[in-house]
A and B are shown apart, each in its own frame.
Chain A
Amino acid sequence: MYLVANIDTEICAATSCKLCTQYCPEANTILYDNAAGEDKGFKYGAAYVAVDRCKGCAQCVWVCDNMAKHNAIKMEMIDQIGDTALTENVTYGEKTSTAILANPVRGQM
């Protein structure tokens, strides 16, 4: 098993700083959902990780902890992470994207 980045939607949605999205070395990996956290009263959405593209470098963790100072990202084992975003479940819209969450470890649903 290996580590991937996991973003806490509530902590992220509280500020929606959009820093980690610009610093992930991988393209199309940290995505942004403008509607995330709406149910909890947040207005500007949150970032999330398409874990199938994440290489586990933890650069986003450094950026969120040290530049944004929000501590919203943790590295977690792919089989422990629970339902999460995968590229195949991402839909792009007008200046936003959303993902239907699913179990990332195939065959262990």
Chain B
Amino acid sequence: MSLDYVKFTPGFGKFMPKEYRDMVEHGPFGKKTSVSQVGTFKEILEEHPMCAGCAMTLFIRLAIIAFPNPEDTITVGTAGCGRLAISQAAIPFVYGNYGDQNGVASGLTRGLRLRFGDKPKDVVVMAGDGGMADIGFAQTLHSWFRKEKFTTIMLDNEVYGNTGGQESGMTNKNQVLKMAPLGKKFEKMDMLGMAKVAGCAYVATVVPNNPRRVESVIKKAVLVAREIGPSYIQAYTSCNIEYAIPTDKVMEDAKTVETDRYKFSEYITDEAKEYLSQLYGYKEYLPKPAAAVEKK
């Protein structure tokens, strides 16, 4: 894991596939690239078998573009739709057994710190709502209570998409699904509340119909996890198959859901604010000047 791992062995470059050469020569490794520049550089994510028009795909694409140091990042995932794409990026991907992702990421993060000391190596978990809030619930919560320093991202499509439409803890009450024909009997779980109680230093909700906001929260979450503590992002990433959303209406749905019940929210501890403003120049978190406070 370093800038060197993407380079060609001398003399072998010309035998490599075009996509690989483009990625080494015109990819984002070691550079500052942003969502607003997409289309002008080769993205790390390659082709994958996720469904056409899937919002989760778009979110994963944006998240990978947003990683502050892609060459020093490892992703961790598990069973579910997202891993079909996350594993097709030129970033080392570790597959945890279903629900084990935050346990695997805990060990990995600690190991990387032993091996590389203070040199930042970012670990980012991306998994579905079923894998995170149901099957992996205990491991997710415990990693937060233990203050493990990595980022957890829930790809919340409010259903078990990969296995054909069972309800998850994150499905809304009364929602009827293919494998929940009577409708769900209880409320959507408050994972955001639990993340705060368990001690996450940065918690945000986001919807991919605002790509630059996705970029911004991912960057902050990864940076906070480097030094301050666990960070959690919950992203609404609709399943157009199980929720029967026509693919050209996926962003319309995202907009509606964002307005109705998935508003952007951000929680950040004072310690994380100070760290982001001091080390990474986030002006929004600078302490308010005393004069402005007095004016009130």
Which residues on A are within 8 Å of B, measured CB to CB? 18, 21-28, 30-32, 34, 47, 53, 55-59, 61-63, 66-67, 87-88, 90, 92-93, 95-97
Contact = CB atoms under 8 A, between A and B. Distances in A.
B37 A58 contact: no
Contact of B39 (A25, A31, A63): A31
A27 B25 contact: no
A74 B224 CA distance: 42
Contact of B40 (A34, A55, A61): A34
Given A22-B211, A59-B247, A62-B252, A97 B35 contact: no
Given A55-B52, A58-B53, A62-B249, A24 B58 contact: yes
A87 B52 contact: no
Contact of B52 (A30, A32, A57, A90): A57
A92 B41 contact: yes
B222 interface: no
A61 B246 CA distance: 13
B26 interface: yes
A25 B58 contact: yes
Contacts of A97: 26, 39-41
**For this complex, into which size category does the number of interface residues on chain B fall?**
35 or more
A96 B37 CA distance: 9
Contacts of A34: 40
Nearest to B62: A22
Contacts of B286: none
A62 B53 CA distance: 11
B251 A59 contact: yes
B90 to A, nearest CB: 11
Which 8 pairs, one residue from A and one from B, show the smallest C-beta to C-beta distance? Answer: A57-B53, A32-B39, A92-B26, A55-B52, A58-B248, A27-B45, A57-B247, A25-B57
- A-side interface mostly: mixed
A27 B47 CA distance: 7
Nearest to A58: B248
Contact of A92 (B25, B36, B57): B25
A40 B43 CA distance: 30
A95 B28 CA distance: 11
B271 interface: no
B42 interface: yes
Contacts of B273: none
A21 B57 contact: no
B61 interface: yes
Contact of B53 (A59, A88, A93, A96): A59
